[in-house]
Chains A and B, each alone.
Chain A
Amino acid sequence: MASLIACPHCGPRPKEEFTVRGDAGITRPEPDAGADAWHAYVYLRDNPRGRHREHWHHTSGCRRWLIVERDTVTHAIYSAVDAAATGETA
């Protein structure tokens, strides 16, 4: 059923409004970073037990991408911040 995600813009909202993308701990490599770095970025993902930072999109809400830190075992949500606040700069 339902759990709630506290969107920093909208407040606690049901998780059905959100879309999960996956690991937020990876950083997009530089264009010339080489095949291994790009392979890792595109294909390799950790599947940790416990705390995990993920990109979640508030698709049916403010449409902001968030970084949600949650526990993959207990499903507890520790934090949710706007991805732009922590993301790479252009």
Chain B
Amino acid sequence: MSSFRLPSGGRLDRSKPLDFTFDGKPMQGLAGDTVASALLANGRQLVGRSFKYHRPRGILTAGAAEPNALLTIGDGGRTEPNTRATVAELYQGLIAKSQNRWPSIDFDLGAVNSLLAPFLGAGFYYKTFMWPAAFWEKVYEPIIRKAAGLGRATYEADPDSYEKCWAHCDLLVIGSGPAGLAAALTAGRAGARVILADEGFEFGGSLLSETAPIATQTPAELLSRTLAELESLPNVRLLTRTTVFGWYDGNVFGGIERVQKHVGTIDANRPMERLWRFAAKKAILASGAEERPMVFGGNDIPGVMMSGAMRSYLNRQAVAPGRQTVIFTNGASGYRTAADLEARGLDVAAIVDSRADAPKTWDGKARVISGGVVMDAKGGKALSGVTIAQAGTLEVIKADALAMSGGWSPIIHLACHRGARPAWSDAKSAFLAPEIQDGLSIAGSAAGLETLEACLADGAEKARRLVTDLGFANADRAFAAVADRTEPVKPLWFVRGSKGKAFVDYQNDVHVRDLVSAVGEGYGHVELAKRYTTNGMATDQGKLSNMNAIGILAEARKVSPAAVGTTTFRPFYTPLSFGALTGASKGRHFQPVRKSPLHDWAKKNGAIFVETGLWYRSSWFPKAGETTWRESVDREVLNVRKNAGICDVSTLGKIEIFGRDAAEFLNRVYCNAFLKLPVGKARYGLMLREDGVIYDDGTTSRLSENHFFMTTTTAYAAGVMNHLEFCAQALWPGLDVQFASSTDQWAQIAVAGPKSRAILQTIVDEDISDAAFPFLGAREVSLFGGRLSARLFRISFSGELAYELAVPAGYGEAVADAIMDAGAEHGICPYGVEALGVMRIEKGHVTHSEINGTVIPSDLGFAKMVSVTKPDFIGKAMLSREGMLDPDRLSLVGVKPVDPKTTFKTGAHILTEGATPTLQNDQGYVSSSCYSPNLGSTIGLALVRRGPQRYGEQVTVWNDLKNEYTKAVLCSPVFFDPENGKLHG
């Protein structure tokens, strides 16, 4: 096919040809082309197949509303389906493929759906596939999904990076057509911080496509002068290729900048797209207006195009639409297109104006058919002619291009994202959004204005008012006020009597009869009709179709469009890539990794790590020859109990607490007493929720009169800190108490086992004998002959003689190494959280497996810890409720199998022996379990009704998931060294 590129004109760089392929066929375009304009210049109108009927479809628009020309662009991990060819810029080497066709776009087997059309009307999904239900999943859905599809995403990873950023400004101007430019210039001259964002790759909006002079300047001259001045203003930021897609709370706008979507060679150091959040004091929406298609038979045949789009391709990219064009219009747009075509020497066969009383101002060559309509377009994969009806007579005219204009719909999406409802204007035959809302004003054709001059004036005036409100004195309009000149518009929602299908929603293949039958079947409400017919539900969200659909519903219901109303506008204005929303948060950057200061020490000692929340904790330390984790864990447990072990406990939450009222404060947040905790002592504390349930536990030490050091569990570190701050700031602001989280500042090392004292004494300068430093001692110590200060605590989770040594994080590894060296002769071994878990279960110590959000202190045997003398503490009042005193409550107990060779798992339930396994007979459940190498069997902790009164009772442990029943006996939860002889050793 010959070239449709005109020999001169357009905003193109003719010295820069760009090679690309379409469905594998090599083609050439020019710098300044979109993919769509390059395809048109190559004579390629047919670019896609429709969603349902697989009808041949061409390029309809020149912008973001395009419903037909959706292509898959790129290859490999950069494959991007459903890309609008009308927005995508051409670059060297671009690979474009058509979609929804098989085996090829010119010969598509799916087009047989067109023959089935009578069965595929509105609501056909609901009517046809009602039963049998099983057929839906197995038969209908796969067939429908295969037949009705868009492009396919790639399975390859996206190789590119994305980023997010914030920008603050006085005035955000959305759209850079005449109104937007005038607004930006007015505000910029006044000194306001302005951001001007436009979705196109060039600023200018309609100025890029129009030719009629504005006063003494051409639109292009006006544009270049204005841009030059804006670029000279340091307070104005200009963003092209940036779609502002949503308006959010606090006058924050979301924007997507396509940083590298238009280049063939990607710079790996720059993002592919950038997600902006614009925090704007004020904003102006100058998004323009969308031209409405005419709805007549065959209005989807390739060669039929929006009037404004045709003008844009002609003037901006010097592309002729065809050899002979028919115009079908109900307003000025059709005449402007006809004039521009004739000015370029192209043949306009006729201007069909649906208004009988159209203004007689046309002075071009083409014949005007007033009060006429295009009844049907003819052709298959390309337009061949049109049938025109005027005053009862039909006339067939040959044409290979048809420009249509059914009036304009202001683009008001963003103005309605925060709840404002559009209102119908009879004068404009359009829905308008409130022109001035708090923080956002609408200007130009988005506010319903028509002429370029009026849009310039409106943008300037709206900006002047907003920046004056912001305190910029003496702001002057960049363009003088001028009245809009409007032609009467008589909407033509659809042409009656068309033979062919008259499409309303191109992308979802919804035609007039679908909407009429929706009304007939009782689905005429705009929201119901949308779901019933799928009008407006495609990826274009009905940008072209919604207004016509509302008009057709109104006519079918015999009401005004005002009574039909619109569906709800929601972000995003155009589709957004997941990559942009994800930003940098992918792969290893999805969430941070927290590593203990002893991570490298553990690693070089062979630790196997486990992820707990964000933390990596050492689980166990396998030795050569050990083939299962249990072998390693059993060895570690036995060695700690016999000799000594060293364990990283740095992940525990650590909070420094200061202040004259610190003791009083702790007394109120713990259920047990802290007021009189002596300096140099640690105490186990239970923190309750206000409802009396245990929140967290840990030890808190008094390092000096007004300085405490609290540890929390690893998982609740952040939550406890928030809780303490709430209590101090919101509940008791009169208390003098301050907090600092020091979790990351300390490496904390547990040294446990009968030989732990001997080992530690070799590095600790002070005397740590039992007499000098008894159980629950807590003090600052010096290490290595005064070379390092540290904190030493004599506390034990394992039940052994044990210490926790806290050193500044950076010294953690060196100190751990020194302990290992000192302990070598005593048989020290590193142990992980698995061994720690075994030893704490052997001792009946609880963790969040037991503190699970349902237990109160007495459930865990801590009843005596709860202070009865304190006047108040968090949780006190609610602990005395009836249910908290119920003797039948689930309470902590030990459980072990009768036959040590048998076992059970955590989560299994406890049944009275012989009871039927039902929930009614449930006595409780196993909260923790492990294999105890010291007892030679599985042991468990369980929460069981009246548990402590049932020691010795034989029960059944019931695992319904595996249908397993284990005979077991309830016992004290302290399985090992119940006299605590080792602890105090």
Contacts and interface: CB of A to CB of B under 8 A. Distances in A.
Contacts of A35: 881
Interface string A43-83: 00000000000010101000111000000001111000011
Given A31-B871, A31-B876, A38-B878, A1 B252 contact: yes
Given A38-B878, A74-B419, A65 B730 contact: yes
Contact of B726 (A12, A65, A74): A65
Given A3-B250, A4-B250, A42-B691, A82 B722 contact: no
Interface in B269-296: 277, 279
Given A1-B254, A3-B250, A42-B690, A84 B730 contact: yes
A90 B734 contact: yes
A25 interface: no
A87 B722 contact: no
B733 interface: yes
A62 B690 CA distance: 25
Contacts of A24: 730
A51 to B, nearest CB: 15
Contacts of A33: 877
Contacts of A76: 249
Interface string B321-347: 000000000000000000000000000
Interface string B724-765: 011001111111000000000000000000000000000000
Nearest to A67: B730
Contacts of B871: 31
A41 B875 CA distance: 12
A42 B872 contact: no
Given A3-B248, A59-B722, A42 B731 contact: no
A31 B215 CA distance: 80
A3 B277 CA distance: 10
B124 interface: no
A27 B733 CA distance: 13
Contact of A83 (B279, B733, B734): B733
B246 interface: yes
Interface residues of B, number: 31
Contacts of A63: 725
A17 to B, nearest CB: 12
Contacts of B876: 31
B252 A28 contact: no
Contacts of A21: 726
Contact of A3 (B246, B252, B732, B735): B252
Contacts of B731: 28, 87-88
Given A21-B726, A63-B725, A87 B252 contact: no
B573 to A, nearest CB: 13
Contact of A4 (B279, B691, B872, B881): B279
Contacts of B250: 2-4, 75, 77
Interface in A13-32: 14-15, 19, 21, 24, 28-31
Most chain A C-beta atoms within 10 Å of own C-beta, residue among B246, B730, B735: B730
A57 B718 CA distance: 13
Interface in B128-148: none
Interface in B699-733: 722, 725-726, 729-733
B722 A84 contact: no
B733 A29 contact: no
B649 to A, nearest CB: 25
B881 A65 contact: no
A23 B877 CA distance: 20
Nearest to A70: B249
Interface in B248-270: 248-250, 252, 254
Contacts of A14: 166, 277
A77 B249 CA distance: 9
Contact of B877 (A31, A82, A83): A31
A87 B279 contact: no
B249 A12 contact: no
A73 to B, nearest CB: 8
Contacts of B729: 64-65, 82-84, 87
Contacts of B734: 89-90
Nearest to A6: B250
Contacts, number: 84
A88 B246 contact: no
B244 to A, nearest CB: 12
Contacts of A85: 733
Interface in B384-430: 418-419
Given A29-B877, A31-B871, A74-B419, A90 B252 contact: no
B248 A2 contact: yes
A78 to B, nearest CB: 12
Interface string B862-887: 00000000011000111001000000
Contacts of A64: 725, 729
Interface string B103-139: 0000000000000000000000000000000000000
Contacts of B248: 1-3
Interface string B219-258: 0000000000000000000000000001011101010000
Contacts of B249: 2-3, 15, 75-76
Most chain B C-beta atoms within 10 Å of own C-beta, residue among A2, A64, A76: A2
Contact of B277 (A1, A75, A83): A1
Contacts of B881: 35
Contacts of B246: 1
Contacts of B279: 4, 12
Nearest to B692: A42
Contacts of B252: 1-4
A89 B726 contact: no
Nearest to A77: B250
B878 A42 contact: yes
Nearest to A31: B872
B661 to A, nearest CB: 8
A80 B918 CA distance: 53
Contacts of B691: 42
Contact of A19 (B277, B690, B722, B735): B722
Contacts of A90: 661, 732-735
Interface in B646-663: 661
A58 to B, nearest CB: 10
A88 B166 contact: no
A42 B881 CA distance: 13
A63 B729 CA distance: 10
A12 B30 CA distance: 47
Most chain B C-beta atoms within 10 Å of own C-beta, residue among A15, A24, A63, A90: A90
Interface in B411-468: 418-419
A22 B881 CA distance: 24
A29 B877 CA distance: 9
Contacts of B419: 74
Contact of B690 (A1, A41, A65, A77): A41
Contacts of A65: 725-726, 729-730
Nearest to A64: B729
A5 B572 CA distance: 23
Nearest to A19: B722
23 contacts: A1-B252, A1-B254, A1-B277, A2-B248, A2-B277, A3-B248, A3-B252, A15-B249, A29-B877, A30-B872, A31-B872, A57-B726, A59-B722, A65-B729, A74-B419, A76-B249, A82-B729, A83-B733, A87-B731, A88-B733, A89-B732, A90-B733, A90-B734
Give me the 3 closest cross-chain CB pairs, A-B, nearest first.
Answer: A3-B249, A3-B250, A90-B734
Given A4-B250, A88-B732, A90-B732, 8 more contacts: A1-B277, A14-B277, A21-B726, A31-B877, A35-B881, A55-B730, A74-B418, A87-B729
